[in-house]
Amino acid sequence: MERSIADQLETLHPDAFGWALHCCAGNHARAEDVLQNAYLKLAREQAWHDGRSAFKTWWFGVIRLTAHEEFRRLRYRESLLGRLLLQISGQEHDPRPSPSRKMEMDERAAELRRCLAQLPARQAEVLHLVFYQDLTLTEAAEVMRVSIGSVRQHYERGKARLRSLLQPDTTHESQPR
């Protein structure tokens, strides 16, 4: 990718994320995915600016089309044909959680985020890379630019600390009142 295009993309990134967020009806996670997929289109040379319009206009069009493609994929998965294919493959249950299960999952996710925020920065970073970004420890070491031994140590210490933070506090329950 040319340096001038990279500079323009860097300048436009905050506006581009705002546009992606708008194209995804305010869904942050989907907007992040859409913007990342739009950047991938550029990196793979599946989209290129031909100069017929302003760069910003063209880039926002790429984002809009990428969002539309993501929406179509999502709709397909939820469509009758998609459900039929799931039944044929033996995965016929409804993947959406019940409202009470969703609330419980949201509460657990909030608790996990709170506990992750209490970890030292390196431990939280390696756990994020491994669990959220699905990287191996070796890949996480490359991203963090530290040795594999350092990553392993932060990984193990982070898991242990997170485990202790997520344990229910039984000290107060066992004491008589």
From CA 106, how far away is CA 70, in angstroms rounded?
A: 24
From CA 52, how far away is CA 45, in angstroms rounded?
A: 17
DSSP, residue by residue, 124-157: HHHHIIIIIS---HHHHHHHHTS-HHHHHHHHHH
Supply the pLDDT for residue 33: 93
Q: What percentage of the chain carries pLDDT values higher than 90?
A: 24
Q: What is the pLDDT of residues 7-36, one digit of tens each?
A: 989 998 998 898 888 888 888 999 999 999
3-state secondary structure of 93: coil
Supply the pLDDT for residue 177: 44
Supply the pLDDT for residue 90: 64
| Structure tokens, 84 | 């039929």
Q: Which CATH architecture has domain 3-81?
A: Orthogonal Bundle (1.10)
Q: Are 3-81 and 99-166 the same fold in CATH?
A: no
**Domain residue ranges in the chain:** 3-81, 99-166
Supply the pLDDT for residue 74: 77
Supply the pLDDT for residue 78: 64
CATH 1.10.10.10, domain 99-166, yes or no: yes
Supply the pLDDT for residue 170: 53
Residues of the chain with pLDDT under 70: 1, 76-87, 89-95, 169-177
- For the CA atoms of 80, 81, 87, 88, the dihedral, rounded to the nearest 10 degrees, stands at 160
Reported pTM: 0.46
